[in-house]
């Protein structure tokens, strides 16, 4: 069994909003690789935060990209810049 308890949707939502502010502060003086933040299912009983990046993070950027935030798992995906829907 995991050392962490299952994260509820409400817990993930609250952590997402806080992480959004943290990333805005951390990348305030430099170009941010973050292009989107949402929620994702980790498994059938747990929610997490999904962060979309426009490029693979550099070692310097990785310092500000946590694996967990307020006990909620954070997953990253390099998606590129958002594209206009047709």
> Residue 70, Cα to own-chain centre: how many angstroms?
12
Looking at residue 26, which CATH number applies to its domain? 3.30.300
Its pTM stands at: 0.86
37 contacts 20 by C-beta, under 8 angstroms: yes
- Token pair for residue 66? 């946590």
Q: How confident is the model at residue 3 (pLDDT cuts 50, 70, 90)?
A: low
50 contacts 40 by C-beta, under 8 angstroms: yes
Is 30 part of a structural domain of the chain? yes
Number of domains in the chain: 1
pLDDT in tens, 45-86: 899 999 999 999 999 999 999 999 999 999 999 998 887 777
DSSP strand pairing (68-69 vs 72-78) = antiparallel
Range of the domain at 70: 9-78
pLDDT at 60: 93
């Amino acid at each position: 069994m995991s050392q962490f308890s299952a994260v509820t949707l409400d817990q993930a939502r609250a952590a997402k909003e806080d992480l959004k502010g943290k990333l805005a502060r951390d990348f305030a003086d430099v170009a941010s690789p973050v292009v989107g933040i949402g929620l994702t299912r980790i498994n059938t009983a747990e929610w997490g935060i999904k962060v979309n990046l426009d490029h693979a993070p550099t070692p310097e950027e990785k310092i500000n990209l946590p694996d967990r935030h307020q006990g909620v798992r954070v997953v990253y995906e390099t998606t590129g810049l958002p594209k206009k829907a047709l």
